[in-house]
Amino acid sequence: MKVSLKWLQKYFDEPLPNAQEVADAYTFHAFEIEEAEGDLMDVKVLPNRAADCLCHRGLAKELAAILNIPLTRDPLREPLPMWDVGRPTLRIEIEDPKKCLRYMGAVVKGVQVGPSPAWLKEALERVGQRSINNLVDATNYVMLDLGQPLHAFDAHRLVERGGACSIVVRDAKDGERITILTGDEYGLTPERLLIVDGNADTPIGIAGVKGGSVAEITNATTDIIIESANFDGTSVRRTAQALKLVTDAPLRFQNRPSPELCAYGMQAMLELIQKVAGGDAVGVVDAYPNPATLSPVSTTLSRINGLLGSEFTTQEMQDVFLRLDLPCKVDGETLTVTPPFERTDLLIPEDLAEEVGRILGYDRIAPTELPPIAGTPDQARYRGIERMKDQLVEQGFTEVSTQSFAKSGDVYLANPLDATKPALRTSLDENLADALERACRIAPLVFPPGQTPKLFEVGTVFPTAGEYLELRMTEGVPAWGKDAPTVDNLSIAKLEEYGKGYELKRYTLGTYQPFSAYPFALRDIAVWAPAGSDDGCTKSLIEQEAGTLLVRCDLFDTFEKGGRVSYAFRLVFNSSDRTLTDEEVNGIMAKISATLTKKGYEIR
């Protein structure tokens, strides 16, 4: 949620602290800040608070509680007017109250569509929204201010019957079509909820997602119908995703704001329209079949402290609820909170403990170690598996880890990420063979001459009969017998006994050194060494002369003849940023040879 500090300030008489302090207040007591720059702050509102905090009012309310400074005014605590239904200029009908929890419609006549006043334009632009016209801007402003999505239809584009327009909220019919405000046309199915011109039975909007172009506000619009409604979150989310129209309104509905909010959104909208576009509200109609209610939540002082591991007092807790504007009654040890309508997240005693913990601050929770527990922790199976690995490492095997997805198998994903690997592996065989092939190619980089890679992997495989943990090796261990298997099912092996009490080998790794993506070059050099030199100093000479492109130098042969000693080295060259050319490597070798010759070596 993009928030403007200037917009937030509107809610406070006292000047807010600087942006960094505001960001810290949110971070440690409410929500993470994804990004902050100047007046703008991107607040990552948590899913359980998206019902009331995807708006400036909600975030101002949080800030007031965290910083303990009073809110100048709270639009959700102001009395609602007794709306004059007036002449029946609008009829509303909800087909399924589970999909549309509330629908308020207001007819406003005689508005003047035009550019928004500077303050409104500026306010929207500060949070990255584009100004369109005074009516559309007003709907956006109220949504960003209070969290209630709104829509405005051109009333003249709806058919009037008996002096009244009719709005019906119903499922789409199979094959029904609608053109939305962007100009795109969509074919519909019964899972899509529609706003329909009831007198003409034509769709004028996709409920909670996007308005239709048929009743679009234009510069010629004079009479409008304002919609302040509440649609089922799941239905809206699925529609928005299916039609790829995940915009501000569906984002809010899918988090299930209270339907009570509709009335406050409508109130703010009518006030704002009056201010920026004029006109007269001639009637407000409210279809609200099942008014929402929240139940009080009770907990106790010891329960909260017993969960948090804290020693907060009743007074401190009461103060937290006061700051959050959550009416709280205290009776001895018991605290009972009656959540205001917009706090749909407060349902169980643990929710109250969270409010106390985060507002007073988790830094006040002292780290405490768990007391010792009776008995030895059960790690036997784990140790059994690891003991198998230790045996193989001792026998010269290197462990690899590969991906579980495969080209084919017995079990297929309904929604593969990589279309070329839609199945789950039935064996480690294929991945291990690939890994071995690659290991052989790059072996000179990691192994001394003469050592060939031997690999193993332990991983879950998924044959039809059911998943199990497979151990697979690229070859057998001669010491274990010629016919010793190279594959094992560790899910049926009795590893608990094997692992009980086994002390695992410990390894210490240093910092990671990235390897090059470019091919390496190999060169051998054999020399007769002068008297008084040995393999170590010969190697040092080579390394000094070769420079940083030499990544490995191994002695692989030594012999004596006629009182002289011959050493043969294998040199591996590799660059981190390019493919080395033969000329370049030969040049280095020539330099090495020259230096060695100068030092009395004879190149063989």
Partner 1 sequence: MNPGRPHPLTVAIREIADIFGRMGFGIAYGPELEDEFHNFDALNVPPDHPARDMQDTFWIKDQPGKVLRTHTTAVTSRELERMAKEGRTEARVIAPGKVFRNEATDTTHEAQFYQLDGFAVGPVGTVTLAHLKGTLERFYREYLGEGVKVRFRPSFFGFTEPSVEVDAWFTAPGKEGKWLEMCGAGMLHPHDFSSVGLDPKKVAGFAFGGGIERMLMVKYGIPDTRLIHAGDIRFVYGFEKKTA
Name which of residues 509 to 548 contact partner 1 (CB under 8 A): 509-515
Considering only 88, 278, 291, 309, the residue that binds partner 1 (CB under 8 A) is 309
Q: How far apart, in whole angstroms, are the C-alpha atoms of residue 209 and residue 341? A: 24
Told to check if 209 binds partner 1 by CB under 8 A, we report: no
Q: How far apart, in whole angstroms, are the C-alpha atoms of residue 449 and residue 229? A: 75
Which residues from 558-587 bind partner 1, rule CB under 8 A? none
Residues 240/246, Cβ–Cβ less than 8 Å: yes
> Looking at beta carbons only, is 370 or 492 nearer to partner 1?
370
* Binding range to partner 1, per CB under 8 A, among 21-29, 179-187, 328-336, 526-534: 21-29
Residues 254/240, Cβ–Cβ less than 8 Å: yes
Q: How far apart, in whole angstroms, are the C-alpha atoms of residue 561 and residue 486? A: 44
Cβ 177 to partner 1, closest distance in Å? 26
Cβ 239 to partner 1, closest distance in Å? 13
Considering only 333, 434, 524, 535, the residue that binds partner 1 (CB under 8 A) is 434
* Binding range to partner 1, per CB under 8 A, among 98-106, 174-182, 318-326, 362-370: 362-370
* Binding range to partner 1, per CB under 8 A, among 120-128, 186-194, 363-371, 542-550: 363-371
Cβ 513 to partner 1, closest distance in Å? 5
Residues 210/181, Cβ–Cβ less than 8 Å: yes
Cβ 490 to partner 1, closest distance in Å? 10
Residues 60/11, Cβ–Cβ less than 8 Å: yes
Sign of CA dihedral 218, 219, 221, 224: positive
C-alpha distances in Å from residue 351, one per residue of 200, 266, 337, 477, 602? 48, 30, 11, 58, 82
Going residue by residue from 456 to 475, which x/- string records binding to partner 1, judged by CB under 8 A? -x-xx-x----x--------
Told to check if 505 binds partner 1 by CB under 8 A, we report: yes
* Binding range to partner 1, per CB under 8 A, among 335-343, 349-357, 564-572, 581-589: 349-357
Residues 548/573, Cβ–Cβ less than 8 Å: no
Residues 194/236, Cβ–Cβ less than 8 Å: no
Residues 206/180, Cβ–Cβ less than 8 Å: yes
Told to check if 219 binds partner 1 by CB under 8 A, we report: no
Sign of CA dihedral 313, 316, 319, 320: negative
Which residues from 377-416 bind partner 1, rule CB under 8 A? 377-379, 381-382, 386, 389-390, 392-405, 411-416
Residue 93 phi/psi, 5° resolution?
-135, 125
| 515 Cβ neighbours under 8 A, 6+ residues apart | 445
DSSP 8-state code for residue 76: G
Considering only 293, 315, 368, 420, the residue that binds partner 1 (CB under 8 A) is 368
Told to check if 353 binds partner 1 by CB under 8 A, we report: yes
Q: How far apart, in whole angstroms, are the C-alpha atoms of residue 193 and residue 188? A: 9
Cβ 100 to partner 1, closest distance in Å? 17
Q: What is the dihedral of CA 98, 99, 105, 111, to 10 degrees?
A: 160
Told to check if 28 binds partner 1 by CB under 8 A, we report: yes
* Binding range to partner 1, per CB under 8 A, among 25-33, 109-117, 164-172, 588-596: 25-33
Which residues from 242-271 bind partner 1, rule CB under 8 A? 254
Which residues from 46-65 bind partner 1, rule CB under 8 A? 46-49
Cβ 8 to partner 1, closest distance in Å? 19
Considering only 71, 164, 243, 308, the residue that binds partner 1 (CB under 8 A) is 308
Going residue by residue from 99 to 118, which x/- string records binding to partner 1, judged by CB under 8 A? --------------------
> Looking at beta carbons only, is 561 or 578 nearer to partner 1?
578
Considering only 124, 266, 424, 571, the residue that binds partner 1 (CB under 8 A) is 424
Is residue 92 classed exposed, middle or buried when 0-12, 13-18 and 19+ CB atoms within 10 A define those classes? buried
> Looking at beta carbons only, is 141 or 520 nearer to partner 1?
520
* Binding range to partner 1, per CB under 8 A, among 103-111, 145-153, 318-326, 371-379: 371-379
Told to check if 334 binds partner 1 by CB under 8 A, we report: no
Give the DSSP letter string of 198-248: TTTTEEEEETTTEEBGGG---TT---EEEEEEEE-HHHHHHHHHHTT---H
* Binding range to partner 1, per CB under 8 A, among 144-152, 213-221, 283-291, 357-365: 357-365
Considering only 132, 445, 555, 580, the residue that binds partner 1 (CB under 8 A) is 445
Strand partners, 299: 335
Cβ 219 to partner 1, closest distance in Å? 39
Matching residue, tokens 């989310």? 237
Residues 527/591, Cβ–Cβ less than 8 Å: no
Strand partners, 102: 230
**What value does the CA radius of gyration of the chain take, rounded to a whole number of Å?**
36
Told to check if 372 binds partner 1 by CB under 8 A, we report: yes
Residue 143 phi/psi, 5° resolution?
-65, -45
- Tokens of residue 335, six digits: 């605290």
* Binding range to partner 1, per CB under 8 A, among 7-15, 119-127, 443-451, 521-529: 443-451
Q: How many positions of this chain bind partner 1 (CB under 8 A)?
A: 101
> Looking at beta carbons only, is 131 or 402 nearer to partner 1?
402
Q: Is 332 helix (H, G, I), strand (E, B) or coil?
A: coil
Q: How far apart, in whole angstroms, are the C-alpha atoms of residue 317 and residue 323? A: 10
> Looking at beta carbons only, is 85 or 484 nearer to partner 1?
484
* Binding range to partner 1, per CB under 8 A, among 195-203, 304-312, 327-335, 558-566: 304-312
Strand order, beta sheet including 602-603: 550-561, 564-573, 521-529, 602-603
* Binding range to partner 1, per CB under 8 A, among 9-17, 123-131, 132-140, 229-237: 229-237
> Looking at beta carbons only, is 83 or 447 nearer to partner 1?
447
Beta-carbon count within 10 A of 435 CB: 20
